[in-house]
Amino acid sequence: DSGVTQTPKHLITATGQRVTLRCSPRSGDLSVYWYQQSLDQGLQFLIQYYNGEERAKGNILERFSAQQFPDLHSELNLSSLELGDSALYFCASSPDPGSVYEQYFGPGTRLTVT
């Protein structure tokens, strides 16, 4: 158990809908990262927060947004969903963005868009 929790584990929804994925980082970690894993794109970095502030953006679509709350949990919002958004979404955390730190991953949320 990495100490990172994600809810829900599975999500099935229809095209055009909006969903929210939730992540709680390990105790003491201030930095949260979101990744998307799909068969065709592999593991891709989406967005990073540190202590409530956005720090870096990767290949995140404009239909997607995220935030980190004062209690450090984070939410990833996916809207106007398309079939191609079906993927595993992982949250990871680390004490801070520094290069010496590894990231610990949650179990993921499997999103299926029908």
- Residues touching other proteins: how many (CB under 8 A)? 31
- Judged by beta carbon, residue 55 or residue 73, the one nearer other proteins is 55
Binding range to other proteins, per CB under 8 A, among 16-24, 27-35, 65-73, 74-82: 27-35
Which residues have a Cβ under 8 Å from the Cβ of 101 and sit 6 or more positions away?
94, 95
* Side-by-side strand order, sheet with 74-78: 5-7, 19-24, 74-78, 64-68
Question: Among 85, 63, 93, which Cα is nearest to 13's?
Answer: 85
User: What is the identity of the amino acid at 31?
Assistant: S
83: three-class secondary structure by DSSP: helix
Considering only residues 19, 26, 31, 111, which one is a binding residue for other proteins as defined by CB under 8 A? 31
Residue 65 binding other proteins, by CB under 8 A: no
Considering only residues 63, 96, 112, 114, which one is a binding residue for other proteins as defined by CB under 8 A? 96
| Residues within the interface to other proteins (CB under 8 A) | 2, 4, 31, 33, 35, 42-45, 48, 50, 55-58, 90, 92, 94, 96-108
